[in-house]
Structure 1
Amino acid sequence: MNTLDEAKKIEKWIVEIRRDFHMNPEPSFKEIRTCKIVKEKLIELGIEVSSIGKTGISGILKGKNPGKTIALRADMDALSVAEETNLSFKSKNLGFMHACGHDAHMAMLLGAAKILTNMKDEIDGNVKFIFQPAEEASGGSTTMIENGVLENPKVDMIYGMHIFSLLECGKAAVMEGSVMSAVDAWELTIKGKSCHGSTPWDGHDAVMCAVAVISGLQTIVSRVNDARNPIGINVGTINGGERSNVIPGKVKITGSNRAFTQESHDMLPTWMEKIIKSTCEAYDCEYDFMYKVGCDAVTNHKNAVEFVRESVKKVMGDENVVKIPQRMSSDDFGMYLKKVPGMYMFLGAGNQKKGCCHPHHSNNFMIDEDSLIKGAACHAQVAIDFLK
């Protein structure tokens, strides 16, 4: 069976589902309507469905004979972004938008479920369909794993994809190693002593201390971390001060970090606090530092990459399976890859002529819907080949 031909037969169905999801975006862990629609579609296909937590879903398609189990994953949540496209099916939930393509991910995986259901008598083993909440909150995959999504039956391999508006539609990027970075969040409060702006020596200037801390943190990137393994330390917000003639006694800073290797990821909070502590001491200030580990890097398994590359070529064509640079963006798919072998690829959905060239998380984000059948077919082809 040619999976791309089968996907073409249900293209209208896939597109309609994607557009419905796009019109009705829901934020992390609040994907109530989305979850309901996904369940209904899976049940219509005769797939066994289990609820995981409040909005997580696992569906099982059992083949004719026992065998291995492959998991295919899609994320479901939208972003708090106000849509500014002119699409006829633009978001009806003001202030929220599927600006990262999760609507497409769900539609493609449902398309794959439909293709695979039609040929279940030719399959040995199981296909597990994972529809995960809260990827954007970096907690959805952990919740799914803790609730046993990789067990009963035990998953032997997991495969996922992210639609990518900056890669031409018709191409797929399949790479080894860390393809997306880890991400963490942090919050720092610097506490000095406020005083009159005319006599700064009577206080301890929290703003000047904050400036020194922020500058010092960037030396971790350029002088402490191994530059061959890139990291990022981003300061997102700085809040301090009350009046123009008062030396501020308190500054609050928030930020996020990126890293590709586990070593750098693990060391970042230690490196940061060393800079923070010594700088605050120099400025006679105190501090509170809170560090929240988000998700690990998406690090593909070599054997899975080699297998998937050959499988995806059957759908996309040899010349259209390419490599792209690592992305400093993140995805909590990496948490699955810590537990079971697997890989994550990028599916091209860009098209300059159609205006599908805006980056992810943009108010104007759009995809070329011609990519949907290719994604559905890749999911199905990888599952078929793995279970053989």
Structure 2
Amino acid sequence: MREYKRQYILREHETLEGVELASASAEMLRREFSYALTLRPSVRGGWELKAGSHIGRIELKDASIRIQPKLPADIVWEWLARAYDIRSLRFYQDRSGFTEKPGDLEWLVKLFIAECRDIVRRGLCRGYVSRTEKLGGVRGQLAVPETLRLWSKQEYRFGCTYDEHTERVPENGAIYAALYDMERRSYHDASIRREIKELMRLFVAGRESEEQRGRPRSARERLVEVERIPITRLNRHYADALSLLRLYWRAAGLSMHAGHVYCESFVLDMNELFERYIARLLSEELRPHGIKVRIQTRHWLGEGGRLVVIPDILLQDTIGREIVLDTKYTERARGYAEHPHVYQMLAYMTARRADTGILLYASGPECVDRIRNTGQTIYRWSLGLDVPLAVSEHEQHTKRIIARILRLFY
């Protein structure tokens, strides 16, 4: 008999009262998801949930919690598509189910399955892997010390080192590892697991590549491995699948077992997504003008390597002029509440000896602050996401932001 689970739905930064949770579920929520939700006893009985800037689905043994974005789904899709370079998958948006449930896991898995099918159709990637074996005849380079050792034990074989052209390459290993993880999860669409199992049989060389690498790896280690795979002309048809894997391991890494019930969650940090989207947008739009975009670089405000600061984005032109830009996935506040953002930007500008800084907010009014006795200027700009416009109109607004940045340089 299927166990009943209560369903709770709220939006970013929304508070929900009267939530019923078992003590074990409340403890798990506090322990594993305190970065996404605040949990405290409600004056009306039960629990009070307050969402932050994360969206997604959190599965507990007795409850399912869905946090929906405050933005329209098509804008969130545009951010994801640009931030993770999966814009070629735009035509899958409706068929994947993203529009209905952007904070769910299934749409991402469906997109990945479609890309894996395309890889199989175009041919699995192959490469040369160095192998060392004991063989009956010489192949490749003879390992003399190993051969003499074998013969001294009357084992008349040859130690050989050779390159094998094989499908056991990192690309296929990364695909198989993700399929293996996805197959262990549960889905509303029963056909997903069947398709995953079929693909695992086709990517069996990836399993062998994984087995050679030894111990199981965490989601963080998987993410690092995927990011280290270079895209070349030989594996270019893997590019979209690997981009999806970066998103998958970043957002779906939290998975837990609760007794015999397997629980999976998909939680996406909208602050990080907003920053990645802006960084990728600026990089693409400003590169033709000779402006470099540097992301999350470390700088020192104090002497001797003390007081480290890490601005979101540094913009540099060909003669060394710099603008410091910091993204804020929030509405620009008025009054004293906004002062910490200004002081933070001043620290960044001081560390870089920059005269210009930009605080880019998701929404809210704009203004310019000229700092006394310094010649420094901080621009507080907004993407205007609080105004209900079509995606194309928001894109035009971002292009105006780009034009403003170019005017600051030239």
Greater helix proportion: 2
Structure possessing the higher radius of gyration over alpha carbons: 2
